[in-house]
Amino acid sequence: MLFRRLALFCLLPLLACNISGRKVMPQEKMVEILTDIAVVEAGNSLDSNIAAYEPARWKGDYQQVFRKHGADDSLFRSSYRYYFNRPEQFSKIMEQVITNLQRSEANQVKSKP
């Protein structure tokens, strides 16, 4: 299940744009945002009628995550492209995302009666 979530991240480079003149988010912020995006995407994929989702709904979900973290679409895309083009840094970010997701999943299991 975790690898399925990560597969969704493979699509994100297609959304990334050129970072010329753009700021880059710190790695910690990218970890937080990517963790939340993985949770949103996993939740959306549980819907039985996912094929009927409008692109605006997906964009709205991402915007909600960006607002939560005080970021915007442009900053996220440029930061994603920056780290994606630096495999060592990107790998560390994704490892932390996986750790966060595993920790969250373990907490959910513990809290079930």
Flag whether pLDDT at 70 surpasses 90.
yes
What CA–CA distance (Å, rounded) separates 9 from 84? 11
What CA–CA distance (Å, rounded) separates 100 from 80? 18
Structural domain containing residue 13: 2-111
Q: Between 63 and 1, where is the model more confident? A: 63
Give residue 23's pLDDT.
87
Give residue 3's pLDDT.
47
Residue 74 token pair:
């442009």
**Number of domains making up the chain:** 1
Closest CA to 19 of 62, 70, 72, 79: 79
pLDDT in tens, 27-59: 999 999 999 988 888 876 655 454 555 667 667
pTM of the entire predicted model = 0.70
Angle between helix 27-45 and helix 55-68 axes, rounded to 10 deg = 140
Flag whether pLDDT at 73 surpasses 90.
no
Confidence of residue 103 (pLDDT cuts 50, 70, 90): very high
